[in-house]
Amino acid sequence: MKDLINKIKEVESLTKEKFKKWQDENKSLISKHLKEICELDGNLHLEINDSIINHESIILSFRKKPSLFKYNEDDLYNRQESLKGWIFETGGYLAFSITIMGNISAWMKLPEIESIMKNNEEYMDLGFIEQEDLKNEWVIEMVGKFFEIILKWKQGKLFDREPIGFRR
């Protein structure tokens, strides 16, 4: 029993070290790369969800913008519901989050078109890495995966068939 108790304490100590590395190095390393990527396109935005220390997410997102769809203002239903103007697209986002055990998870949310298309998946996992293994290349690789999936979504290639766009 003593051996198991010691192993638990060792793991807790290692987890504490991972959180320290996140705060001291890795959070800023990821943020730096994502800021540089945002400078490539004004449609990209960086934010940090830091409402809970050691449970932050660093988020690269496409800004919300008008889609190619617009409400028909002559339609009776749209008039009754006061629906008019452009329908917006949320552009999707990539998040780098610290896990509860102190490692890093990269995950994403696909774009959606309000009132027309909502994705079935809440999010998609892209990768996972231990704090001590984080390198610049991994961050760039995850951003590349994110952009490739967004491109496939915009081309309609992520679906068994291209969606018509009725919300479920």
What value does the CA radius of gyration of the chain take, rounded to a whole number of Å?
A: 20
pLDDT band for 168, please (50, 70, 90 cuts): very low
For residue range 39-54, what is the model confidence (pLDDT) as tens digits? 999 999 999 999 999 9
Cα–Cα distance, 72 to 85 (Å, whole number): 8
Q: What is the mean pLDDT of residues 9-38?
A: 97
- Give the end-to-end CA distance of the chain in Å, rounded to a whole number: 53
Nearest 10 degrees: CA dihedral of 56, 33, 29, 19?
20
For the record, the structure tokens of 3 come out as 């051996």
Cα–Cα distance, 165 to 113 (Å, whole number): 9
* pLDDT at residue 6 greater than cutoff 50: yes
Cα–Cα distance, 130 to 15 (Å, whole number): 11
Q: What does the pLDDT read at residue 61?
A: 97
Residues 6 or more apart whose CB falls under 8 angstroms from that of 22 comprise 54, 56, 98, 102, 104, 131
For residue range 83-114, what is the model confidence (pLDDT) as tens digits? 999 999 988 999 999 999 999 999 999 998 88
The mean pLDDT of the chain is 92
Runs of H (alpha helix) within the chain: 2-21, 27-38, 76-80, 136-155
Q: Which residue has the tokens 């990821």?
A: 30
Q: Which residue has the tokens 């690789």?
A: 141
Q: What does the pLDDT read at residue 158?
A: 79
For the record, the structure tokens of 127 come out as 């990768």
Q: What does the pLDDT read at residue 162?
A: 67
Q: What does the pLDDT read at residue 86?
A: 92
* pLDDT at residue 129 greater than cutoff 60: yes
